[in-house]
Structure 1
Amino acid sequence: MTTGTNIRPLRPGQRARLLIGDVDGGTPRLVHESTASALEAPNWTPDGRWLVFNQDGLLFRVAADGSGAPEPIDTGSVTDANNDHVLSPDGATIYLSAGDGHIHAVPFTGGQPRRVTNEHTPGPFRHFLHGVSPDGSTLAYVGVEPYAGDEWGYRNIFTIPASGGPDTRLTDSPAPADGPEYSPDGEWIHFNSEHGAATPGHAQIFRMRPDGSCLERLTDDERVNWFPHPSPDGRHVLYVSFPPGTLGHPADVDVVLRVMGPAGETPRDVLALFGGQGTLNVNSWAPDSRRFAYVDYPVD
């Protein structure tokens, strides 16, 4: 298989560990670990059998019960995938963001990718995928555009048909937004944003209707909160919480995984770990809505 080109090295003595946690706490279960380079962003397949992750620009799957070694997924000409990838509700398709700034669709069984997203002018315009609607018809992504001389300065939420078609802008603000995901009933899109933040980087969790209306802020604390992931049964939202004052979602920091209700009810800590970028970038809930996959990066 072709060698990937999006490689994230590890520190000396560092490991990347793919683990399974439980919404009620308890001891996590190790599925796979690597000392060669960082693996990131697990997805759990809808049938419960596999965990999909990216490493070195490629995608792999490993049995969720930890049996067997990871298997490469053929992504054809895309060899620089990043940690923004999701599965279709039927599990047949993987949608992934690549180094060309576009979103592509690849069969779960492997094959040549199909580009989903459009060219935009003026550019550059980059697409970072995070969500797919419950009926599989629509993708939610972060669109990154130039702003005030910064190529990465304008980050907003968009949707696009999964089969390709016109983009729909849901937010239009210099306050950075990221991580859009649909609720399992399709009624909401959860995301993180610096909307209303008093200091740069102070992202909190929001939700809005799929047409961009009815914006609601769900968290309001001193920590920096990213990547909300609704559970399949709609009862929980899992997210990664960075220390106060964090800018963006960096790697190799002490973070907390938190869970709350779908409207922000009763947030609570589930796990504390050394991680951040790559730990929980995409939805990783098991079909049972009790377990979830994540990655930590301990340094011996």
Structure 2
Amino acid sequence: MQRTLQPGQRCEVWIAGVTGESELVFTSDELLLEAPNWTLDGSALILNGDGKLWNFDVAGRTLSQVPLAGIPDLNNDHVLAPDGKQIFLSANDGHIYRAPLGGGAAERVTAVDGSFHFLHGVSPDGGELAYVGIDAGDFSQPGRLLTIPAGGGHSTLVDVGAGHCDGPEYSPDGKWLYLNTESFTSLPGHAQLARLRVDGTGFERLLDSETVDWFPHLSPDGDLASYIRFPHGTEGHPADLLVDVVLVSTGDWAAPLHTWPLFGGQGTLNVNSWSPDSARFAFVAYPLANTDSSKDHVRD
């Protein structure tokens, strides 16, 4: 089922700068958009909404649907191919697809293996995808980290412990996978940020916090990262609660450079939303009628 806005709720697309400023660039009280990607030419954001793919022209502030064929309704897991011409997409049938970024026919990448596949990362050379697999679509079971050739084929399980993991994403140099995982704690849902080498070695925790931390996204130059911080005790990454979007240096994950508090969660920052020049990134807020996301939107 597709997410929709509650009565009195609105969708807000924001662009934040690495020096702490933020700008509201799109708002709607009809269409719930999620998970912005930034195109490689820096001109547009790619988002999903109502099961479809959308292109938001940053300069012109216009939104248009990307015409896709041969794919079921989309969820909020989508990543551009390194060539900037194709996009990999997760659909609500549990499969990963590849399609032209400008629109056209989609091709299924994943096999019918009884699992649900949730895409999050594409290697810098475009040859491999990292995704989370849910056996038999049973969401009471933890998600597992897997990789697969971008053209399809055999999936490889990567061991990151028994806890649920999500958001696996390649570093810009292709040497690491960054993710969130519950493998460091016995507290239900207490996800923490981690990384491991692409060969499966060197699994390490990046930040030891009391909050529930999801979806680490490195800037293209590798110097900075954004992630979303849920309140202590949150299980999963639900929608419609007070969260923080956090900016850090990859040299010190424990010292936020800037923090953007907002009403959101699911859909806010599920995929990498950095601009190609590493100067800005995008996120989505979902304020209710009695909230004002223009006030106190930056907290250092």
- Give TM-score, length-normalised by structure 2: 0.92
Q: 1:14-59: per-residue Cα shift (whole Å, max 9, x none)? A: 1001110112212x21222111131100000111011000000000
What's the counterpart of residue 8 of structure 1?
3
For 2:131 and 2:54, the matched residues in 1 are separated by 22
Report if the CA contact (8 A) 1:146-1:154 is conserved.
no
| Superposition misfits of 4+ residues, deviation over 6 angstroms | none
What's the counterpart of residue 227 of structure 1?
215
What's the counterpart of residue 226 of structure 2?
238
Count of matched residue pairs: 288
What's the counterpart of residue 159 of structure 2?
171
For 1:196 and 1:247, the matched residues in 2 are separated by 15
1:146 Cα offset (Å):
4.9
Q: CA 1:88/1:224 → structure 2, altered by over 3 Å: closer, same or farther?
A: same
1:250 Cα offset (Å):
0.6
Structure 1 counterpart SS, 2:34: strand
CA RMSD for the aligned pairs? 1.5
What's the counterpart of residue 191 of structure 1?
179
1:259 Cα offset (Å):
2.2
Bigger shift: residues 164-173 or 94-103: 164-173
Amino acid in the other structure paired with 1:64: V
For 2:76 and 2:204, the matched residues in 1 are separated by 27
Amino acid in the other structure paired with 1:118: A
What's the counterpart of residue 105 of structure 2?
112
Q: Which structure 2 residues correspond to residues 147-166 of structure 1 after superposition, within 5 A?
A: 150-166=138-154
Alignment partner of 1:136 is 2:145 = no
Q: 1:100-149: per-residue Cα shift (whole Å, max 9, x none)? A: 110000001111111111122xx3x10000011111111110011159xx
Structure 2 counterpart SS, 1:246: coil
Structure 2 counterpart SS, 1:82: strand
For 1:296 and 1:154, the matched residues in 2 are separated by 27
What's the counterpart of residue 75 of structure 1?
68
For 2:174 and 2:69, the matched residues in 1 are separated by 31
For 1:261 and 1:17, the matched residues in 2 are separated by 26
1:298 Cα offset (Å):
0.8
What's the counterpart of residue 20 of structure 1?
15
1:260 Cα offset (Å):
2.4
**Which of 234, 237, 242 matches 1:249?**
237
- Give TM-score, length-normalised by structure 1: 0.92
Alignment partner of 1:208 is 2:235 = no
Structure 1 counterpart SS, 2:143: strand
Structure 1 counterpart SS, 2:104: coil
Structure 1 counterpart SS, 2:189: coil
Residue ranges of structure 1 left out of the alignment (5+ in a row): 1-5
Q: 1:46-95: per-residue Cα shift (whole Å, max 9, x none)? A: 11011000000000101122x14211111212241000000011211010
Structure 1 counterpart SS, 2:76: coil
Amino acid in the other structure paired with 1:107: P
What's the counterpart of residue 272 of structure 1?
261
What's the counterpart of residue 297 of structure 2?
none
What's the counterpart of residue 3 of structure 1?
none
Bigger shift: residues 260-269 or 126-135: 260-269
Q: What's the % identity of the aligned pairs?
A: 49
Amino acid in the other structure paired with 2:284: V
1:13 Cα offset (Å):
1.0
**Which of 205, 220, 232 matches 1:217?**
205
